[in-house]
Amino acid sequence: MRPDAPDWLASARLTLGRAALGPRTEHRGRVEEVGDGVAMISGLRDVRLDEVLHFEGGQVGFARVLDPDLIGCVLLDAATKVEAGDAVFGTGEVVNVPVGDALLGRIVDPLGRPLDDGGMIEATTHLPIERPAPSIIERDLVTEPVQTGVVVLDTLFALGRGQRELIVGDHSTGKTTLAIDALIAQRGSDMICIYVAVGQKTSSVRRAIDALQAKGDFSRCIVIVAGSASAPGLQWIAPYAGMTMAEYFRDKGQHALIVIDDLSKHAATHREIALLTRQSPGREAYPGDVFYIHARLLERAAKLSKTRGGGSLTALPIAETDSGNLSAYIPTNLISITDGQIVLDAPLFHQGQKPAVDVGLSVSRVGGKTQAPILRESAGTLRLDYAQFLELEVFTRFGGMPEGRVRQQLTRGARIREALRQPQHMPYRLCDEVALMLAVQSGLLDPLPLRAVTTFRMRLPAALDNGAPEALQALSETGKLTPEARESLMAALSGLATALSAPPAEDAPAKGTDQP
């Protein structure tokens, strides 16, 4: 090297001297055709399923169909800049998403890219979206309750940590609201909340996020958005990405609750991708693996054994029906996969019974063993009494006014139905639910008009805080109701019922207002 050579030239020569020279292999293919978010690629014979592919324009996709001559690649970005003849490069890696505590309180897309104003996310690590479900030996019994704050769920269809409970119903019957209320109720618990929006309208997602930010603990929530305007590939991977992010906390010994809204749209996206990649259609044009894609997804929700840390992942998938048809293809598949279903009824919703839960069709196959003992004790025969009331109500429409025991059952059933109503985004505490069930089962609400029962339900939390603070503290600490605490609760409930039963001096009660 000449003494007068510039410093940068000397540095370049040094770098070239250390570089590994020689032949280098490169997996390169060619786009044959592209359209509707799917590209058919030739020349990549060594690509594996779900491998990430890079296009020369910077776009990203993943291999979904492996045929001998063509690779069906689903794009994860807009397809407007991908054209036939473009070069495609294999990476050898499957789709991964960031996981970790840095995602808490953030709104991201299924790839972990931020959609809010919080800046870039420094993830703990990256994990593949497709992961095996825990084996049977790695699981434990579902014994711990998930308090949703929704009276009709906690009393009649209790959920357990590690359970998979389907929320199913027609369009606009309150499915998302019910799930969001369950997430809001975790603001005082140790559960991490994940909300996955698949194919939803931007306005619906915005309302859900606003509710979580206003009423819940958003610092312990992760929102994953793949809206209706997103690429089909993003909508397809969204539930799997959400599960991977939730599994990070489960595997650490923590507890997580994930809501997938909804799997009906995810199945439609899967059908769209399958038809575009020329897979054989089956029933209702769905491909043959439509059951498997949801089975392997929901099977990842589980309660782990103590040797695995004792964490849990509870799943609340949502599915939409058409005219209440539960025997449709996708709802039937999901009902057979999950541990129970919460069925929302459109006629009940339009009658003002919200949440519009159909107690006859809904069931929780696990939660009865996980329900808080004090709540199970206070609810007693609530479900049986309510079911008998619904049958009697139908029969009495054809005859005159019943008398005796039947009239008493109708009166009690009407009060039960009114007690099960609940405004949205206002979850109850466990002590509120216990007190409400005590009031219903003891007959304390029977003399009250229905309008007074509504007022009783609304004023109940404040009345308990003022009239029985010691009983509430004992109940929250021990989970049991001593005779002294029960007496204190009943005294506060009786005082509230007495105040509501006495009409104002200036107003005379209207005729018929006390009839159920």
Token pair of 47 as six digits: 């690509």
Query: What backbone torsions phi and psi does residue 52 show, to the nearest 5 degrees?
Result: -75, 130
First vs last C-alpha separation in the chain: 102
Say how far apart CA 62 and CA 268 lie, in whole Å: 19
Query: What tokens appear for 446 in the block?
Result: 């029977």
**Which amino acid, one-letter code, is at 291?**
F
Backbone phi and psi for residue 74, each to the nearest 5 degrees, phi listed first: -95, 125
Q: Where are the beta strands (DSSP E) in 139-284?
A: 145-146, 159-160, 166-169, 191-198, 221-226, 255-261
Contact 196, 212 (CB under 8 A): no
Q: Please check whether residue 490 is in contact with residue 446, taking contact to mean a CB–CB distance below 8 angstroms.
A: no
Q: Is 363 helix (H, G, I), strand (E, B) or coil?
A: strand
How is 378-442 classified by DSSP, letter by letter?
A: HHTTHHHHHHHHHHHHHHHTTSS---THHHHHHHHHHHHHHHH---TT-PPPHHHHHHHHHHHHT
3-state secondary structure 212-228: HHHHCCHHHEEEEEECC
CB 163 within 8 A of CB 146: yes
Which two tokens mark 29? 């293919």
Is 421 part of the annotated catalytic residue set? no
Between CA 62 and CA 90 the distance in angstroms is 9
Residue 217 and residue 186: Cα distance in Å, rounded?
8
The catalytic residue among 131, 139, 296, 365 is 365
Q: Is 358 helix (H, G, I), strand (E, B) or coil?
A: coil
Token digits of residue 37 = 């978010």
Catalytic residues: 365
